[in-house]
A and B are shown apart, each in its own frame.
Chain A
Amino acid sequence: MATHTMVQAIANTLDSEMARDERVVVIGEDVGKRGGVFLATEKLFDKYGPDRVIDSPLSEAAIIGAALGMSVYGNRPVAEIQFADYVYPGFDQLVSQVAKMRYRSGAMFHAPLVVRMPAGGGVRGGHHHSQNPESHFVHTAGLKVVYPSTPSDAAGLLRSAIRDEDPVVVMEPKRLYRSVREELPGDDHLVPIGKAKVLREGDDVVLISYGGSMAETNKAAAALLEQKISPHVIDLRSLQPWDRTTVLEAVARVGRAVLVSEAPRTVGVMSEVAATIAEEVLDSLLAPPLRVTGFDTPYPYAQDREYLPGPNRILKAVERALSY
């Protein structure tokens, strides 16, 4: 059976959803004729035409705002922001207009739209092609946020996002776009938003991560197994809402947690996970929840690889957790 990379999985999902529901439209820079700079919207323009695959002027405010206007009228737009680093010109539209549409109107209007963006570092892109701005969106009431790490999850979460009546921000780990190939489940494969995935059951330490960092976390898990240490590995997949049940059950049982995310440390999503662990299962903890994260610097060019939380830093944190 055919295997697909993550970016192919995204393109396939967009195609199958556009075929299934004529209200689905795509809007963004270069999404039409060019098929997207990462080819995430490849072939959609030829199949669905310029009315449903819209090449927008260079303006994230126009892209996100127009997606909102189309969605209140009755469409289901999927807006693409070319790099997460460029979402900021459209940030006001996302936070002031989209996120608050249902609430401020007393549910007279709502915003069933998706904003997808390639995010994360490790691609030698420096400050403005490597960011992980997900904390801003998780912190904004009214938005849902997902961050897959595999092709099948990218497909399933995007499909759920398109069918969701709430606005969903879909972060895509661009350095994993073409690194792994998977068989895709069928055109109705849905990954529920808010549900984490346990990749491996274990007893000694809980490793929790999402997005691009899952790759390094899995490497660290493999190294632990060689040392006869048993890791319990969780891929959050959704950041808002995030799966408190799966995380707290595991951490309460095991007693030690290492939280891995390449986003900057201060007020990163793992701060929220760590605080919740401390509030809810303190009595079961054998060590404090430990974060392994990106640094509180703008994303560097020369030290790209060192910035990312790699297996060595993760293993050091596990050692520290086990030594309590």
Chain B
Amino acid sequence: MIRESQSFPPFTEEPIKVIGEAGEWLAPFELDLDDEQLKGLYRDMLTGRLADERLIRLQRLGKSSFVAPAAGHEGAQVGVAHALKAGHDWLFPYYRDLSLVLAYGLPAAEFIAQTMGTRADPARGRQMPYHPGSKELNIFTVASPIASHIPPAVGTALAMKLADRSQVTLVSFGDGATSEGDWHAGINLAGAQGAPIVFACQNNGYAISVDLKRQTGSDNIAVKAHAYGMPGYLVDGMDVLASYYVARDVVQRAREGVGPALIEFVVYRYGGHSSADDDSRYRPKQEVESWRRRDPLQRFRRFLERRELWSEDEDLAARDEINEMLAAAVRAAEEAGPVPLEWMFEDVYEELPEFLAKQRDELLG
């Protein structure tokens, strides 16, 4: 149950945080998470970070064609994942949501198989890396065009409202997405209909190389919510507990029928936009380094250590375990082998039409 004191004000001047950089608890309310839950948040961030490093290595080895670095986003992504009811709610992620989908429950093996495009990919090798989806978990399969998933997310939320089963939709995107027409089309519909949807923006200050000042005239992303008749929250996305608590509050309100909301998580992307990007062309080294000192994992680890919930030994053990799991996932993806050529022609429609079958037969000879 969310207590009054755990409700957060929208449109704050400064990003909301509940842990300081030294790991000290700052919030006026009592922490209501037990030790297992707290360690679980850290483990999920660590999993995201280690998965990120491994996927970068895989790409450099030529075993995958593309990476969307997510290091630095773990606090916001893991906090949001824990605020939802996986399998009951619906999640509409974007291409950088590695930690989010893993923390939400997507098996690393499925993410990696999709990234490597092998037969183990539940989506049958159809898309480029970093485009996960899950029927079981209600994770809407990622599509590359930025913000194109916003209107569908609102549609699902509308359907949820009609079905009246206390479900919530959460749609995740970056700062660049908020300039696309589809973003405005979707969030406007959500406001007009009072749909149970939470818009979660991970603002890392850059859309590839275009910085926020060139992206929008707005002071920040959260203020845009004013235009659509809903509250906008400004959160320190490098603080996993602030991310969790604000998301939890806002999601619960949506679940109760209060309506949609926008949350902006201020984060920083340590890597480039993608494996094809050279971010030294547009970001000064000192800037990257100063944000490195605000690493969400380090900050939360300091918080846990203050409470004697974590140690160097535990960290090493956790890293070993997670790395072993990731290595096994890579092996499983590789061992499944390549996707059959015929699969290219399936799932265009429910049934394979004659004219397409002919094309397949021409190719297969």
- Interface set of A (CB-CB < 8 Å, partner B): 25, 51-52, 54, 56-57, 59, 61-62, 64-75, 77, 89, 92-93, 96-97, 100-110, 141-142, 144, 164-166, 194, 241, 244
Contact = CB atoms under 8 A, between A and B. Distances in A.
Given A59-B188, A141-B348, A65 B355 contact: no
Given A92-B148, A105-B135, 17 more contacts: A25-B162, A57-B188, A57-B192, A59-B185, A59-B189, A65-B182, A68-B151, A70-B159, A72-B140, A73-B163, A104-B126, A108-B134, A109-B135, A141-B348, A164-B350, A194-B353, A241-B354
B145 A105 contact: no
A82 to B, nearest CB: 15
B192 A106 contact: no
Interface in B107-151: 121-124, 126-127, 131, 133-135, 140-141, 143-145, 148-151
Contacts of A108: 122-123, 133-135, 141
A104 B181 contact: no
A100 B158 CA distance: 22
A211 to B, nearest CB: 21
A313 B126 CA distance: 46
A56 B189 contact: yes
A69 B348 contact: no
A86 to B, nearest CB: 13
Contacts of A51: 162
A92 B145 contact: yes
Nearest to A59: B185
A73 B121 CA distance: 23
16 contacts: A57-B189, A59-B189, A62-B189, A65-B150, A66-B151, A69-B152, A69-B153, A72-B156, A77-B155, A93-B151, A97-B149, A106-B133, A108-B135, A109-B140, A241-B355, A244-B354
Contacts, number: 147
A164 B351 CA distance: 11
A274 B249 CA distance: 61
A37 B355 CA distance: 37
A66 B186 CA distance: 8
A25 B163 CA distance: 13
Contacts of A75: 159, 162
Contacts of A25: 162
Nearest to B139: A108
B160 interface: yes
Contacts of A71: 155
Nearest to A142: B348
B154 interface: yes
